[in-house]
Structure 1
Amino acid sequence: MKEWWQGRKHKKRSVKRRNDQYSLFDLFLDVLGWIPELLFLPFRIIYWLFRGIGRFIGEVFN
């Protein structure tokens, strides 16, 4: 029983060590998550810029 427990303990420790590493698959998922953000960022900046200018002009004439 002790040998079985030691083997199980060793396997769990090695799995924990592997989980801390940043893999190529993790990088791929991060890139897939950032692509939409990078595509829509210029449009969002333009939208907020026009919205801010519109509010400023609206406040000036009120």
Structure 2
Amino acid sequence: MKRRKLRRRESERYRIIDFLADVTFFIPELLFLPIRLLIWMIRPLARLISDIF
């Protein structure tokens, strides 16, 4: 019984490998988010300007 509890506790811990995996997916998102926001803001303005002229 005690062994099962210990195995569960060890398997549920947040490990360094989990942290590194999260960081490798999170950093590119932080880098590309401002570029995406600019594109999302410029597209409607460009369409509005092209419809006016």
**TM-score, L = length of structure 1:** 0.62
Provide, for residues 6-59 of structure 1, a one-character-per-residue CA deviation record: whole Å limited to 9, x for no partner. Answer: xxx554432211111111221111000111111111110110000122244456
2:11 pairs with 8, 19, 22, which one?
19
Flag the structure with larger Rg: 1
1:37 pairs with 25, 29, 33, which one?
29
- Runs in 1 of length 4+ with deviation above 4 angstroms? none
Structure 2 CA distance for aligned equivalents of residues 32 and 43 of structure 1? 19
Note the residue ranges of structure 2 that are not aligned, 5 or more in a row: none
Structure 1 CA distance for aligned equivalents of residues 45 and 11 of structure 2? 48
Note the residue ranges of structure 1 that are not aligned, 5 or more in a row: 1-8
Structure 1 CA distance for aligned equivalents of residues 44 and 14 of structure 2? 41
